[in-house]
Amino acid sequence: MKIVHYLNQFFAGIGGEEEAGRGPVRLDGPRGPGRALAAAGAVPDVTLACGDNYFGEHEADALAMLVGWLDELRPDVLICGPSFGSGRYGYACGVLAREAGRRGIPVVAAMTPDSPGVMAAEGAAHIVPTGTNVVAMKTVMPLMAGLARRLGDGEPVGSPEEEGYLPRGRRTMVRASDTGAARAVAQLLAKLEGDLRTEIAPSQDRVPPPPPVADLTRARIALVTEAGCVPTGNPDRLPTRHANVWLSYPIASRETLSADAYESVHAGIDTAAANVDPNRLVPLDAARTLERAGAFGSLHDRLYTTSGVDTSVATSVRFGQEIAAELHEAEVAAVILTGT
């Protein structure tokens, strides 16, 4: 069996955030978590790796090289991650899984259920759910290895409930022991007792894009960020990860975000460069230049901020709804949303 393992730059041992811009690399044998896969009986023959930032900023180029290697290697199974709660890494795993699946390659991955990689994979991967950090590594790797061996050998794999992977959004015909009426009554009784269940897993929400702004020269624009940009000292104690609040700060009298007045408390990136010039996270200086040039009508007088590290999808949805309601009240026509 030929196994290919995909990792980001950190887990491949290339480097930390300073190497996040590194392009795809091809390495022989297991690296990092791949050694745990090998110990569990699924030995990676080749490890593919790519920097998180590079994949995000050059997705087409990164995919072309990674998929080219997959076409050359023709593995029996591809293993991605585990990426745990990392958004950038999870997304890269999901996109590569999707492309591998389109080529008929079985894929096993592991990440948090609310990772963007789950949606990006489009059901192509058997995704083992994890916690947000590497504490779950010891329990996750044997599950990934077992699924990979069976998929690589062409053995049948049971349902998500039986095997422990996330629902893939695919339906197969099975013979049930009870009639539809009996199952419906059983589900109703379970629901009345507080046990919510369904035979069809719900799909994640997809938000359609709004129409373009009709006239930017008359539009009010707002700055919103999940980069954890706050006044120096973080006076309102914005959490550096697992955010449970969003905050807003007045910027009507500011032309720029100076290094002595603002900083980033985001726990998912190296904030050194951002703290030298906070405008690289929240482009207030560029927005003021465009405002004076008449590129848009006016800049909203408040900055909205939170930290997007390991923040759950449900919490993020609530943040978006609350911020959007306030922006709508202020007659804001469009938002510049910046992240890490």
Please check the confidence at residue 13 and state whether its pLDDT lies above 90: yes
Looking at residue 158, what is its pLDDT?
Answer: 87
Looking at residue 34, what is its pLDDT?
Answer: 96
What order of strands is seen across the sheet that includes strand 77-84?
A: 25-28, 46-50, 3-8, 77-84, 107-111, 125-129
pLDDT digits (tens, 9 = 90+) for 186-242: 989 998 998 877 776 555 667 788 899 999 999 999 999 999 999 999 999 999 988
Give domain limits for the chain: 3-163, 216-338
Cβ 130 vs Cβ 82: under 8 Å: yes
Cβ 103 vs Cβ 30: under 8 Å: no
SS3 state of residue 53: helix
Nearest to 14 by CA among 49, 45, 54: 49
User: pTM of the prediction?
Assistant: 0.63
Q: Where residue 113 falls among pLDDT bands split at 50, 70, 90? A: very high
Between 43 and 309, the more confident residue is: 43
Please check the confidence at residue 284 and state whether its pLDDT lies above 70: yes
How many residues are given for the chain?
340
Specify the CATH architecture of the domain 3-163: 3-Layer(aba) Sandwich (3.40)
Looking at residue 29, what is its pLDDT?
Answer: 96
For residue 336, the cross-strand partners are 223
Please check the confidence at residue 76 and state whether its pLDDT lies above 70: yes
Stretch 52-73: mean pLDDT = 96
Please check the confidence at residue 146 and state whether its pLDDT lies above 70: yes
The token pair that represents 235 in the structure block? 């006076």
Looking at residue 262, what is its pLDDT?
Answer: 96
- What's the mean pLDDT when you consider all of the chain? 93
Residue whose entry in the numeric block shows the structure tokens 């994949």: 55
Looking at residue 173, what is its pLDDT?
Answer: 74
Please check the confidence at residue 150 and state whether its pLDDT lies above 90: yes
Between 168 and 142, the more confident residue is: 142
Looking at residue 201, what is its pLDDT?
Answer: 59
